[in-house]
Amino acid sequence: MKLRLSFALIMITTALFAQKTKTENIIFISIDGYRWQELFRGIDSSILAMKTYRQQDSASIMKKYGAATVAERRAKLMPFFWGTIAKQGQLYGNRDFNNKVNVRNKYWFSYPGRSETICGYYDPKINSNSYPNNPNENIFEFINKQKGYTGKVVTIASWDAVSNIVNRDRNKMPLINPFERVEGKLTEAQILANEIQGFMPNYFGESVRWDACTYAIAKSYLSANHPKVMYIDFADPDDLGHAGQYDFYLDAAHYLDKMVNNLWQLVQTDPFYKDKTTIVICPDHGRGLGKQWPGHGSGTAGSNETWLAVIGPDTPATGEVKSEGQIYQDEIAQTMAKLLGFSFTANHPVQPAIKSVFK
């Protein structure tokens, strides 16, 4: 009798703790090299003042993104982040409130940043953007092995190194890199998305695709194929940052805000996704300050500072988090696993999930 009672107690406690999440689908969005400063403060007039960092006159840029207060400036630049995510989701990383998000790695550039984020693990060996296939298993291939998810996890990327970072050669999961095309039976929108990527100026070379083209492939794929997990990797802010074009960097952020808005609208109007999909967004590193704004890396102070946005049915609407705190990007992978009700294990240690993302 005693034994049975304790067994019942264990069952009740397990049921209490293994609360079922509502999230069945995840869209993970990486925005390469977009700073927390612009996200939380809007346009930086000290960078705008440097003529070498823009092609247009400052008055026309101020007309688009300038305003009297920080609240107005950031809402003008990122209306979806401030109008919707800040009301229905969470925004971490405003260092003006001592709320910090950082990469754990000591390199502060793209491959290591993405790798620690999707693997939940900082591997010091990953020290180059031309590092070959990632030996560390990532959250997406783990999810792809779970019941109901196999074949329903896809990556669409603006930068060709992403196939090495997720190690497509190992996991054979669908991935559409720059200038690759979605194959199979396609909708009109997918055919057009495949096509237009070849008609854009090849401004940054063969290894990257403009984010608008990556977006078109991603959005049409979501509508037509209903993947359960999608990783979208955007790159314009980093490319335009390195090019030292602050005006176009701001435009890129503004357009990405709108793209995320449109993806959220799609999610919330399609019954397949509605009220059971979480969107998680973060960059892979920050950038320098003032004159050093175009660059990043261990020699550029502040470029390990990042941010995190989450919106979905399991995440409390805390909005902009204004309390002191510290998140590292290697905590995001387990957070995504937990949102789907899984516990991520891999061929390496995995950092625990971010508790405050859950109700």
Per CB under 5 A, residues contacting Zn ion are 33, 238
Closest-CA residue to 24 (of 226, 192, 253):
226
CB closer to Zn ion, 33 vs 302: 33
Residue whose CB is nearest to Zn ion in the complex, by number = 238
Distance CA 33, CA 153 (A): 24
Q: How far apart are CB 267 and Zn ion at their closest, in Å?
A: 29
Q: How far apart are CB 235 and Zn ion at their closest, in Å?
A: 9
Distance CA 144, CA 134 (A): 17
CB closer to Zn ion, 33 vs 89: 33
Q: What is the DSSP string of 10-24?
A: HHHHHHHHSPPPS--
Say whether 147 sits in a helix, a strand or coil: coil
Q: How far apart are CB 106 and Zn ion at their closest, in Å?
A: 16
Tokens 């990257």 identify what position?
Answer: 208
Report the relative pairing of strands 25-31 and 277-282 from DSSP bridges: parallel
Which contiguous run of DSSP H or E holds residue 281?
strand 277-282
Longest dimension (CA), the chain: 82
Q: How far apart are CB 252 and Zn ion at their closest, in Å?
A: 13
CB closer to Zn ion, 114 vs 228: 114
Distances (CA, A) of 116 to 104, 110, 159, 311: 8, 10, 17, 21
CB closer to Zn ion, 33 vs 312: 33
Distances (CA, A) of 178 to 155, 238, 297: 11, 16, 24
Q: How far apart are CB 33 and Zn ion at their closest, in Å?
A: 5
Q: How far apart are CB 297 and Zn ion at their closest, in Å?
A: 8
CB closer to Zn ion, 26 vs 240: 240
Q: How far apart are CB 331 and Zn ion at their closest, in Å?
A: 22
Distance CA 221, CA 225 (A): 5
Q: How far apart are CB 233 and Zn ion at their closest, in Å?
A: 13
CB closer to Zn ion, 33 vs 178: 33
CB closer to Zn ion, 42 vs 286: 286
- Identify whether the C-beta of residue 106 lies closer than 8 Å to the C-beta of residue 329: no
CB closer to Zn ion, 177 vs 300: 300
Distances (CA, A) of 34 to 27, 109, 181, 295: 18, 12, 27, 11
CB closer to Zn ion, 33 vs 42: 33
H-only helix segments in the chain: 2-17, 36-41, 45-48, 58-65, 70-77, 79-80, 86-88, 110-119, 139-144, 162-165, 168-171, 188-196, 211-225, 236-242, 246-269, 332-339
Distance CA 101, CA 304 (A): 9
Q: How far apart are CB 236 and Zn ion at their closest, in Å?
A: 11
